[in-house]
Chains A and B, each alone.
Chain A
Amino acid sequence: MKRFVSLLLVTLLVLSLTACNTASKQDTAATTPNNQTATENGGTEQKSGLPVLSPDNPVTISVWTMTNYSAPSADNKLSKLLKERLGVTINYEIIPPENADQKIGVLLAGGEYADLMGTTDLNIRLIKGGALIPLDDYLTEDKANLLYEHVKPYWNRLATDAGDGERHIYVLPNYNRYYGEIVGGTHYGASGFWIQKHVLEELGYPSLENMTLERYFQMIEEYMKKYPTIDGMPTIGFELLCAPGREWVLTNPPQYLAGHPNNGGVVVDENNVATIFADKEIAKRYYKFLNQMNAKGLIDKESFTQTNDQYLAKLATGRVLGMYDQRWAFGQAYDSLVAEGKYERTWVPTMPVYEGCTPYYADREVMNINQGYGISVSCKNPDIVVSFLNTMMSEEWQKLFNWGIEGEDYYVDENGRFYRTPEQREQQNDLVWRNKNKLEALYDNMPKIQGTYSDGNADSPGNQPEEFFDSLSDYDKNFLTSYGKKTWREFLNQPPENPIYYPCWNITLPEDAQVVSQQLTDLALQYLPKIIMADPSEFETLWAQYVSEINKVDVKVYEDAINAGIQERIKNWGN
């Protein structure tokens, strides 16, 4: 009992200490709504009309950011640089994306925010919820000139109606606003029907032009006959996956096969009218084909029950000959094979289409709208924050974020080209090193220079062509030469100019349309696995069931919402 009492006392002591602590550190962020003109303590006024950041006038900026990156460590060298050169200290509040929905809900209800609010795809809720201030007044030639440059060509596209009927820019786009030339060897966003390099090698590097589903599976079948096992394990012909969040592996392919780009659940015709394709001939044909391939034993029986980890595990053993997927989604398996030196077991994309269709697997990466940083209504001095973002847009800082410090993280050769030593490349993989040397958590949602800098170097090391070649293995160099190509990107089509409304999957849907979209996904998940796994004689019956279930859903609500979105974009996004 004595122990209990003393424990209680200790606890009370701890509590009282913490209480004092709390009081002294209490945040006092007062809300100054729409405080666009608050420049009272703005330091030296630049001719640009924005305060100049300097170490003599230290400021702290609170950053709320939804990102997968972790906060920099306390001794981070770029944080130090920000402090030394600009007097800026950043307070991070990092929100892992999995739970960001909930956090945004309570934030909006509470109405208090950090200075900078950055999210990847929920900003629209912050905008509509009145959390962000319009930035239009700052985005001018003589104020935030670099940010202005960033948004100028896309003004109409970025301007959003927060609910008051006026369109303003609230958020600075974080990705895919290109400068200069687009370069890079690997296209991580690439969709494709991937095929193992060894299959192609074995078949004498057959041409991959005019690929069809039939020919794709024929190659797999042929190889499988020859090699029923790989490293003692049964060979898997074709792999599918429909784990949570990866449902599109199952539902996306028909649109590609029919020569359309990825618009999510719809295809858009030449008159810009969108219709769902889940119940159409292009889909039926694909799933019927899969059904037949399954009967032949080419499709993994565990396709629909496996978890993402199990899927990656199979891929990483090198015994999977083909799958439909996007490059980033199986990166770990790819890396695992590379780590083992099994380059021939990795994959390249092919682009099967129905006859008469042109492959449109690779699209031009779309600039993200409503993703990135906005300035909150709680921010006491937006001028300083804008000035900070504007400074960060300079090539000098962009290079620091992407390449690091010259001489430490990269070198410059006599032609002014940036390059890295193998060691410098290597350390980039190390999470611990990155936390000490990069500011990824801050940079993730920041506006970026993508493409090339004015000196012709690529935005980041991964996209510098020389860097790409240097990091290739001999097997891969040889493989590329056999196909007469220089990068993995070249296995895909040249992306044509995007239609103005593209892509439909990021159209913000009203609630009833969201419900329908979710219902369609649920139906697909429920029926397609059965349809593919069924005996071919049952295919027609099951397919008819699936279509009749789709007909019960109010598809029109969804299609109308998408079409309204397309029309709105066509109307507003032209410049």
Chain B
Amino acid sequence: MITLDPAMLNRVIKPARYTGNEWNSIKKDHDKVNVTVALSLPDVYEVGMSNLGLKILYQILNNRTDTAAERVYAPWVDMESEMRARNIPLFTLESLKPVSEFDVVGFSLQYEMSYSNVLNMLDLAGIPLFTAERNEKMPIIVGGGPCTFNAEPVADFFDCLILGEGEEVMEDLIEAVSAWKQSGKADGRVGLLKKIAKIEGIYVPSLYDVTYHNDGTVAKIVPNCSDAPAIVTKRVVKDLNTVEYATRPIVPFLDIVHDRIMLELFRGCTRGCRFCQAGVLYRPVRERRPEVLLKMAKEMVDSTGYNEISLTSLSSADYSCLPDLVQSLVDDLKEQGVSVSLPSLRIDSFSIELAQKVQQVRKSGLTFAPEAGSQRMRDVINKGVTEQNLEDAVSAAFQAGWSTVKLYFMMGLPTETDEDVLEIANLAYKVLDLYKKITGRRGAKVTVSVSCFVPKPHTPFQWFPQNHASEFERKQQLLKAKLRDRNITFNWHDARTSFLEGAFARGDRRLGQVLLKAWQNGARFDGWSEYFKYDVWIDAFKASDLDPYFYATRERSFEEVMPWDHLSSGATKDFLQREYQQAVQEELTCDCRREKCSACGVCPGLGVEVLDWGNKA
């Protein structure tokens, strides 16, 4: 056990990030379990603690009497320098034990810009960065989360990566590790990795060889032993009603990013937005039964004392039994002072009604995501929302008393012209005018947030060349010039961060060197603008003799082997190509939950079914 001396804790900001003891946290005696697991998200405590997947795994793993699961997050820069100065290794929050003493260390990879933190945390833990350098006494380093569907840039650092939902596969992994330990670690680390590679949904990168063409593209990625499958396919939970959920989540002392109960109504989204990676990775839609949700919600209020429930799913307003569910939640939990909130609103007036009913969304702000300014562009991305929809929704909101609206957009989408970009401004002004028309007053506040589109693997836009940073900046200026109204606030994303995110999103295994060099030269917390060091990254690319533009802004042909072609989300390449072509032709694809199956391949391929209770009734 590590002791943290007061001088250190007195000096850092938010020392409670490092001291644990939160309600519902679980401390087990390590001598009484077979397997110890450190669960991590490579970002600061407040971000890490807000991740639903890790909350679920924490509960599932700790339900096992043979397993102890603990947490560790990236120490903030001030704490890191205190730790390095005092030779304090990375430690978990429950037992304050060094992470290097655990059997398994799992990182949730949510975002490419957190990769440098993974290396930094391994280093702080005193664990060799490369899988090839680790011996039998060292932890197994596991990755999970959306980035694993192309984790090639971090492949050399991970022993294995989990594709898809973790509930079941994580238990399989623990069983394998436990058996291996009991066998006296038979055949060493490689023996274990070969066993693990046979588990469905687990990718062991070291068991695959990558070769490249002269032009730098991937020639092939093939297993180098018979234990590894040619293609690793994601895991899905067939019925969410029967798996364990995070009903006893840890209640932090600090104000974290999502400091409330998260009630996950369903997984997946079938609206089929063509830019959306989550929409593909979490297919098909599987809803929880309303009665199960209600029971879970009550349990969570009792176990946490939180007074706010957030309905979290990719598009919560699509839940088939939403109105009834919301009504029952509000009725049953009103007494305990509990309110319900809907983080994502669909752009229609029905949502406003609901928002009013839950009375939670403060009259200060409503958020909509038209994603693109022009109708043409929204058709390209298959957003399936018309200007009329937006007008109706915003009008309903203004009539109901709201006066502040946030609008989310992307720029740099396929086929985008300057006119499309400028339509974003027109929409913003239209919203202001609507307020005037409806209330007879001025004074609506519109926030326009525009991010830079990053094409992601496993989406129909995976072949598309991302805009150059300079092009993004030009478009941002264009829009900025148009949005000169004191009632409009314009936020935009840093184009250079998006550029690097893009390079890593579609990167191959060679980027591991770039990552290593950038980290060695001080890169960490790259997702935090105050710590993002663009030049360090560019220098690291140069030193590795690799070109970031090759990865980010190059158009790929349909024939090219993608670095993630051996990793399957269940959606076929045919489907993605079809969707790309439809996009260019501005043709829509319908919602496969409510209308007809668009033949993405997931349901038959994985033997799962769309579960939509509203349709079954």
Q: Do A and B bind each other?
A: no
B residues contacting A by CB (< 8 A) are: none
The residues of A with any CB-CB pair to B shorter than 8 Å are none
